[in-house]
Amino acid sequence: MTDWQFVTHYFLHLIFPFIIAWIFFRKNWLKAGIIMALTMLVDLDHLLATPVFDPNRCSINFHPLHSYWAIAIYGAGLFFKQTRIIALGLVIHMSTDLIDCIWTFSHCHECFLNSPLHKLFQSL
């Protein structure tokens, strides 16, 4: 992981939700930002992997809470007022992880070939 990739990844996980909250939930931006930032807890599913951290592994469809089904549920949550802020945080989180995957794949072709995303693209 390059320095720019690291900075971008954590900016999108920890700061960007507050920017989105300020734009779309101005009246309660701090609360919305905190809720969206707390969606980082979805990364607890990384504890189920061996090794827990692999800098060349793409999280998308590797970890249970990063699966295609989970992402679809997060996207559906955007359509319900009761779950919108949490769902938005989770969609931002998954989008950030996808950006990270693409960045990793740009310098590690073997990483792409071994990823669940490669299998998805092969099936299309």
Strands (E), 1-121: none
C-alpha 1/C-alpha 36 separation (Å) is 24
> Tens-digit pLDDT profile for the chain (124 aa)?
679 999 999 999 999 999 999 999 999 999 999 999 999 999 999 999 999 988 889 999 999 999 999 999 999 999 999 999 999 999 999 999 999 999 999 989 999 998 888 888 888 7
C-alpha 36/C-alpha 21 separation (Å) is 8
Which range of residues forms the domain containing residue 46? 3-123
Neighbouring C-beta atoms of residue 33, cutoff 10 Å: 22
- Domains in the chain, number: 1
The answer to whether 111 touches 56, Cβ cutoff 8 Å, is yes
Q: Pseudo-torsion of CA 105, 111, 117, 122, nearest 10°?
A: 100
